[in-house]
Amino acid sequence: MAFAMRGALGSLGRAATSMGMAQTQTQAALGAGRGSGAAAAQRLAGMARAMSSLPSHTKLTLPALSPTMSEGVIASWLRKEGDFVEAGQPVCEIETDKATVDFEVQDDGYLARILVEAGGPAQPVGEVIGVLVEDKEDVAAFASVTLADMSEGGSAPAPEKKEEPAPAKQEQKKEEPAPAQTSAPAASSTPAGQSSGERVFASPLARKLMAENNVDLYALTGTGPNGRIIKADVEDYLASPQAQEAAPAEAASSEAPAAFSGASGDYFDVPVAEDAQELAAQLEQSKHEVPHYYLNCDIDVSALLDVRAQLNAKLPEDQQVSVNDFVVRAAALSMQAVPDVNASWGKTFIRQYRTVDINVAALTSPDDGVLMPVIRGAERKGLTAISAEMRSFVSDSDEVDLDLGVGTFTISNMGAFGVKTFTPIVRQPQGSSLGVGTITRRAVPVAASVEADLSQGPPVKIVPTMTVTLSSDHRVVDGAVGARWLQHFKTLLESPLNMLL
């Protein structure tokens, strides 16, 4: 009944949205007489009446894939108009300057209209990119709908295309692309991004290589899809005479760092890659805004280590499973058992996700910082699939395009560095984050029989133990829910065969 009520309310909301848009467009039409005359106003009023008669529908808007994302490009559409899409299925791929991420719909429906073509210019976050309807018979009603029709206030540019006496501001907007067009012939000698001032896209691996070699992003011309800069472009540039000539100037500029009010003495500045800057901004924002609380527990991993040894004895060396693979698997299954943790804060609502997407802290190279690639649909993947994806995170292959989008949960494992315990920062908009410490051997008392000789003290056994800490946003996950999740997670790791069934 709750789902039925939610659906009914959603339909009413969408209908109200359409009616409100129609009213807004009608008012715009009545006020358009100064620039385009009564005829244009009548056309816009007719358009408003047509919009109000459209069937119930849902607008697909460009999502913010990170707190700092402001725009994105539709890399490809995975469905065509008229196709049925189930909730949780990807409908298109969205490309930012960091990664390419699948965009999944939240409700079942038919893709009635694609408003932004793949490979086109970047669109701002919140822009309408498509339309979803519940009934297939309603698809035809959207055949002639345009982006301007569906965008709020989007009917204003219509007179500009047909009427000569357009307002000065609109004429200025039309003339703005002219400098980019006039500079296009120079693209062979000057990178397009530098000459036009447009945004330049590059793969995460290419950005890392540019940061390591202090290469200007606008000095390169991309040969990847849609002009994307890839690793090969950076390597070709570094081997070119142009890079050799630029090296002395870069070295000279590095000797004169910008003024910085800090401690006196010798120092040098280390450039921060864009991916690391974005992650730092997210964590800084989360630390200030999220009411954190922390739960930790010790886990006996004796059985886990035994099962892992048995599995690896039958697997090739390049397919061995790690302790962290078990951790990811257990976390995904615990999310299914306690779905309240697989959620995020929305101020007026709490959003629960149907799939479990886990960000895993990965050290891409010894000299590079930590990235947070995401494992999508982790609850549907077994140990070997998770292990293969984890290995790809640290691959140097340019064919591996890391998905750096924000998942629904984050795992940071610092066991390799000998860290016993730590409290991770919750990464918004996620509700929780898990910190995993190293495995230590601890003496644990065991129950003694009545006949046992206790003259040498109580009997003990040595147990390999791992400490984990769950950091949670108290607005989303209260203490009791977090405790139930941690209890289920501990049970799975101490009885790992349950994860293999």
pLDDT in tens, 119-133: 888 888 889 999 999
CA 253, CA 420: separation in Å to the nearest integer?
A: 43
Percent of residues, the chain, with pLDDT higher than 90: 34
Given the structure tokens 């991004």, which residue do they identify?
A: 193
Q: Are 360 and 393 in contact (CB under 8 A)?
A: yes
Strand order in the sheet with 292-300: 292-300, 460-473, 432-445, 409-413, 358-360, 374-375
Mean pLDDT along residues 383-412: 80
Residue whose token pair is 């999508």: 376
pLDDT at 265: 65
Q: What is the pLDDT of residues 151-161, one digit of tens each?
A: 754 433 333 44
78 pLDDT more than 80: yes
Secondary structure (3-state) at 147: helix
Look up 474 and say whether it is catalytic.
Answer: yes
Take residue 2 and report the two structure tokens written for it.
Answer: 């709750």
Distance from the first to the final alpha carbon of the chain: 34
The length of the chain is 501
How many other CB atoms are found less than 10 A from the CB of residue 363?
14
Per DSSP, the three-state class of 285 is helix
Mean predicted confidence (pLDDT) in 214-220? 79
Q: Specify the range with the lowest mean pLDDT, choosing from 2-6, 394-398, 443-447.
A: 2-6
The pLDDT of residue 17 is above 90? no
CA–CA separation, 299 vs 110, rounded Å?
47
Using CA atoms, how far apart are residues 37 and 149, in angstroms rounded to an integer?
20
CATH label, 57-141, candidates 3.40.50.11270, 3.40.50.2300, 1.10.10.10, 2.40.50.100:
2.40.50.100
Count H helices and E strands in the chain, helices first.
15, 18
Q: Tokens representing 111?
A: 């893709």
* Alpha helix segments (H runs only) across 2-32: 2-30
Residue 237 or residue 446, greater confidence = 237
**From 368, 401, 478, 488, active-site residue:** 478
Mapping DSSP to helix (H, G, I), strand (E, B) and coil, where does residue 314 land? coil
Tens-digit pLDDT profile for residues 250-306: 554 444 444 455 555 678 888 887 777 877 888 888 888 899 999 999 999 999 999
Radius of gyration of the chain (CA): 28
* Per-domain residue ranges of the chain: 57-141, 204-243, 291-447+457-500
In angstroms, rounded to a whole number, what is the distance separating the alpha carbons of residues 485 and 470? Answer: 9
484: left (phi over 0), alpha (psi -120 to 50) or beta: alpha
**Cα 489 → chain centroid:** 25
For residue range 98-114, list pLDDT tens digits in order: 677 888 888 889 999 99
Q: Which fold has domain 204-243?
A: Dihydrolipoamide Transferase (4.10.320)
pLDDT in tens, 175-206: 444 444 433 333 334 454 444 445 567 776 67
Has residue 487 got a pLDDT over 50? yes
pLDDT of residue 405: 82
- Fold adopted by 291-447+457-500: Chloramphenicol Acetyltransferase (3.30.559)
E strands present in 86-222: 90-95, 100-104, 109-114, 123-124, 128-133
d(CA 392, CA 145): 42
Q: 293 by DSSP, 3-state: which?
A: strand
Helix (H, G, I), strand (E, B) or coil at 376: coil
Residue 490 has pLDDT above 90, yes or no: yes
Buried/exposed 453-474: b ≥16 CB within 10 Å, e otherwise: eeeeeeeeeebebbbbbbbbbe
- Choose from 26-30, 221-225, 424-428 the range with maximum mean pLDDT: 424-428
pLDDT (0 to 100) of residue 403: 80
For the chain, what is the mean pLDDT? 76
Q: State residue 152's pLDDT score.
A: 52
pLDDT score, position 185: 36
SS3 391: helix
Provide the 8-state DSSP code for 500. Answer: T
- Percent with pLDDT over 70 in the chain: 68
Q: Which of 269, 357, 474, 488 is catalytic?
A: 474
* Token duo for residue 150: 């569906």
Determine which of 82-96, 228-242, 264-278, 469-483 has the lowest per-residue pLDDT on average.
Answer: 264-278
